Amino acid sequence: MDGLHVAFQGFVGGIPELRYTPGGKATLAFSVAATDTKAMAKGEAPTWIRCTCWEVRAEELQDTIKKGVEVYVEGKLTVSHWQDKASGENRAGLNCSCWTVQLLGAIGKKAPQRPTPAAIGRPVMPARADAREPVAAGAAGRPEPWPGAAG
């Protein structure tokens, strides 16, 4: 097994770049700034990971992944080594060949809240599969019957 299987989240930096291999396979390359909360609180620099999606997934994501978008990524992590042409220094970078990329957007307290089924007048799921009455109590304190159920 070459590479390490990883999962991380972070923010896309720069503009994603869609290219095609000589064989016609689509590749979407973008960088993700992945930093844990404690490191951010200390003011540490993020860890940049160069991500690449392939084929159909690359074409699907080309219009939705933009600079600044928060993403969750799973894939195979590898390290590349090179020598900087300008300074002659040895350099290293992290690369991820992605099989999962999910847009996160607003999460937690910032996420829009969905109304509960009871709030929009729909019956609540029963406690058991064979139960005929919902769990939520009616105005009289008794469970309300399912719509259309024989009383």
Q: Which domains does the chain have, with CATH numbers?
A: 4-106 (2.40.50.140)
Query: What is the C-alpha to C-alpha distance for residues 133 and 147, in angstroms, rounded to an integer?
Result: 10
Query: What is the C-alpha to C-alpha distance for residues 48 and 45, in angstroms, rounded to an integer?
Result: 9
Number of Cα atoms under 13 Å in the Cβ half of residue 109: 0
| Confidence class for position 39, pLDDT limits 50, 70, 90 | confident
| Confidence class for position 17, pLDDT limits 50, 70, 90 | very high
Highest mean pLDDT of the ranges 26-30, 59-63, 117-121: 26-30
Average pLDDT over residues 91-118: 72
Query: What is the C-alpha to C-alpha distance for residues 102 and 61, in angstroms, rounded to an integer?
Result: 9
Matching residue, tokens 């869609």: 18
The pLDDT > 90 percentage for the chain reads: 43
pLDDT for 42 equals: 86
The pLDDT > 70 percentage for the chain reads: 67
pLDDT for 4 equals: 86
What is the H or E stretch that residue 123 is in? none
**Is a pLDDT exceeding 50 seen at residue 112?**
no
**Is a pLDDT exceeding 90 seen at residue 121?**
no
Burial (0-12, 13-18, 19+ Cβ within 10 Å), 27? middle
pLDDT for 73 equals: 94
Average pLDDT over residues 1-7: 78
pLDDT for 26 equals: 93
